[in-house]
Amino acid sequence: MTAGNNGAHHRTRKWLSDQHAEVLTEAMIGPAAANPFYREVLAVSPTHYFGLRVPLLKDGAIESIFEPVPVQKPDAIVSRALAMPEIRGFVNWMRFPIYEVQARPHHLWSRRLLS
């Protein structure tokens, strides 16, 4: 499995550079369900998250699983939500966070923290 993951990492780095002119900063690699010849990769660049299905055989094409998702820095509202003791465990666990903040009536905010 290590050899497969190393191959997927190398192919992901090259694909990201060639297709999006992005630099791979981090990758989470796991086996694809029911197919030992593919890996599912969550690739992180300085600006986006990319979901990819990477074949381990060199002649296979890398497929996008979803559209690139922008990497966001937490704003003041999200930072305050992340500091709440009720979600401390989730904050320690989340690896690639996505934030959604929606304004509500009467100066209230709805925050959604995803990982």
pTM for the full predicted model = 0.76
Categorize the per-residue pLDDT at 97 as very low, low, confident or very high, splitting at 50, 70 and 90. Answer: confident
pLDDT of residue 74: 82
pLDDT at 111 over 60: no
Number of domains in the chain: 2
Task: Summarize pLDDT for 45-72 with one digit per residue, the tens.
Answer: 999 999 999 998 888 899 999 899 888 8
CA distances from 59 to 8, 27, 52, 93 (A): 13, 22, 16, 36
Same domain for 64 and 35?
A: yes
**Domain span at residue 22?**
2-70
Please state the rounded mean pLDDT for residues 25-44.
89
Same domain (yes/no): 63, 82: no
